[in-house]
A = this chain, B = another copy of it.
Amino acid sequence: MNTRELVELAQQLRVDSVRASAAAGSGHPTSSMSAADLMAVLLAHHLRYDFDRPAHPGNDRFVLSKGHASPLLYSAYKAAGVIDDEELLTFRKLGSRLEGHPTPRRLPWVETATGSLGQGLPVGVGIALSGRRLDRTGYRVWVLCGDSELAEGSVWEAAEHAGHEHLDNLTVIVDVNRLGQRGPTRHGHALDAYARRFQAFGWHTVEVDGHDVDAVDRAYGEAASTKGQPTAILARTLKGKGVTDVEDREGLHGKPLKDPDEAIAELGGPRDVRVAVHEPTAARMLHAVRAGHLELPRWDKGGDDVATRDAFGQALAALGDGRGDVVTLDGEVGDSTRAELFAKKHPDRYFECYIAEQQLVAAAVGLATRGWVPYACTFAAFLTRAYDFIRMASISGSGINLVGSHAGVAIGQDGPSQMGLEDLAMMRAVHGSTVLYPCDANQTAQLVARMAGREGVRYLRTSRGGSPVIYGPDEEFPIGGSKVLRSSEQDRMTIVAAGVTVFEALAAADALDREGIRVRVIDLYSVKPVDRSTLRRAAEETGCLVTVEDHHEEGGLGDAVLDAFADGRPVPRLVRLAVRTMPGSGSPEEQLHAAGIDAESIAAAGKLLVEEAVVR
């Protein structure tokens, strides 16, 4: 396209953004208008993308980090001919694919859900890593950011990651329109302020007038030809560009235009420019999944104690042998989580993300968009750092595996800052998630392999210290299942435990048995989905339940158990044991005792519960 045609296309994107927002009665037209020229030039001259084949391995990848500018994205889709005008005007209506913020669950051309700012670049880095280190097709990753979102630390985690990895297949385009939601940004139109920051993190930068289509065109060309560094294009723009009533004005964020007809007239009226987007270059198919033989590690039942984190590391390394699509990401604690065992066997599929948990999860999401099966690993406690990314991953429908080690007070001396005590609650509350908490080595190994086959966000919780191997290597552990470890017709109570508390529960059952109280013990390794039928049967047959977990009392195992009874059926009498105090330092045994989740505490609580039943 020549200059005039590019300008026409950009004006059309503005007009359509105004029209879509007007039809919806909500949306962000002014945030779309600032970036219309940036989008027009990208679409017409630089993006290589086959809209009919969004999975084409050679396709460039575009991420709209400023997801609220969705009218611009959908207007671009219309210009590319993949949605029609009628659909454009369904924007933000119930059932429409064109949601307020774009999601890949609805639209095949969207790489990742955005709308929580500062996430597009981190995910884009993950996609670019895939392109550079794994896929090795020549695609580029283009991320369109707002200027406000550069205040998010996650952007600088991503900038550091991309700079360090020399991701010259990555370009971030910053729409510097100087206005955030509630007013001016910190740096206004000072492009050099942003340039200094990106340069410090090892990026090439280009400053440009974001409404000069020829200058933008040259800037994209410079980005594509820059070697050894990612490029940040800092584009000076005006929010609401092109419509006098709203251009560069405060207080108009996220509002449709008051007089859309007048605005459309000022923009030169509706157009029907069609863009022929460049085809991707030929590329080999997406990485072949090497279907090697999966041979998980095996431990002898009753053998030496094994920490579930050790079993995890060994199983993950074995999974890497069996599946060529498994990749692993480390948050600079691979020696602790044992992710490093994977690194030793598969260094090409191992990504060191250093101490940057948001980037750790975002890179996993990015890798998953390219068909890889990522395992992102850090301490359970530190996954809280990435909760917004985990939440957004679920909105994307992203299939990522998260592994949190050092769960609970059982870690011992390090104290509460290192103890995952909120992780089960956090992960359970994620839509469509899977939450697993194994207690022994063979169980861990199986779950590591099985979780890869689930939809959505999957979480595995591992423990620091060694624990007995109570299952044989051929035992099966379906997700959604549980194991009844002890059972008789005389059971007067059921103890439900998982992870480290399984062993405390077994010891408590022994103690109660000596007092003539027979107790059922369930290992609830699948916290979500939960094994409702086994729990219900136990409740019916034994009358009452004690749940015990190395986690705060809210949102964890106890709540998962109650979930089995929240459908109107009679609920068993129940006592929940959990970590109710703020732990300090101490040995693992001291910690379990102080928290009231050791065998002694379980036995005492169980006895009270049963005796109360007798009194009735």
Stretch at the interface among A123-131, A217-225, A352-360, A510-518: A352-360
Contact, CB under 8 Å: A332 / B182: yes
Which of B96, B552, B573 contacts A585, CB < 8 Å? B96
18 contacts between A and B (CB under 8 A): A26-B412, A100-B417, A105-B582, A113-B417, A149-B355, A152-B157, A182-B333, A382-B388, A387-B388, A387-B422, A395-B582, A425-B425, A425-B555, A428-B554, A554-B563, A568-B575, A568-B609, A571-B571
Chain B contacts of A81 at CB under 8 A?
none
Q: Mark A245-265, 1 if CB is under 8 A from B, else 0.
A: 000000100000000000000
Instruction: Give which listed residue, B106, B157, B574, contacts A566 with CB less than 8 A.
Output: B574
Among B155, B418, B432, B555, which residue has its beta carbon within 8 angstroms of that of A153?
A: B155
Q: Quick one: CB contact mask for A53-97 with B, threshold 8 Å, 1 for yes?
A: 000000000000001000000000000000000000000111110
Residues of B within 8 A of A431 (CB): 421, 552, 581-582
A282 within 8 A of B: no
B92/A413 in contact, CB under 8 A: yes
B182 touches A160 (CB 8 A): no
Whether A387 pairs with B426 at a CB distance below 8 angstroms is yes
Q: Please state if A355 and B568 are interface contacts (CB–CB under 8 Å).
A: no
Mark the stretch among A166-174, A196-204, A301-309, A497-505 that contacts chain B: A196-204
Please indicate the chain B residues that have their CB under 8 angstroms from the CB of A201 in the complex.
Answer: 197
User: What 0/1 readout, one digit per residue, does chain A (431-470) give for beta carbons within 8 Å of chain B?
Assistant: 1100000000000000000000000000000000000000
Copies of this chain held together in the complex: 2
Kindly state whether residue A559 has any CB partner on chain B within 8 Å.
yes
A359 vs B186: C-alpha distance when bound (angstroms): 15
Contact between chains at A164 and B186 (CB < 8 Å): yes
Q: Is the CB of B160 within 8 A of A100?
A: no
Interface residue A562 (Cβ < 8 Å from any Cβ of B) = yes
Looking at the complex, which of A2-10, A334-342, A472-480 is the stretch in contact with chain B?
Answer: A334-342
Query: For this complex, into which size category does the number of interface residues on chain A fall?
Result: 35 or more
> Which residues of A are at the interface with B, using a C-beta cutoff of 8 A?
24, 26-27, 67, 92-96, 98-101, 103, 105-106, 113-118, 148-149, 151-157, 160, 164, 180-182, 185-186, 196-197, 199-201, 251, 330, 332-336, 340, 354-359, 381-382, 384-385, 387-388, 391-392, 394-395, 412-418, 421-422, 425-426, 428-432, 528, 544, 552-556, 558-560, 562-563, 565-576, 581-582, 584-587, 590, 594, 608-609, 612
Q: Is the CB of B151 within 8 A of A417?
A: no
10 smallest CB-CB distances across A and B, nearest first, come from: A153-B153, A115-B417, A555-B555, A571-B571, A94-B586, A425-B429, A156-B156, A200-B200, A153-B157, A100-B415
**Is A358 a contact partner of B566 (Cβ separation < 8 A)?**
no
Kindly identify which residue among B157, B358, B555, B586 contacts A428, using a CB–CB cutoff of 8 Å.
B555
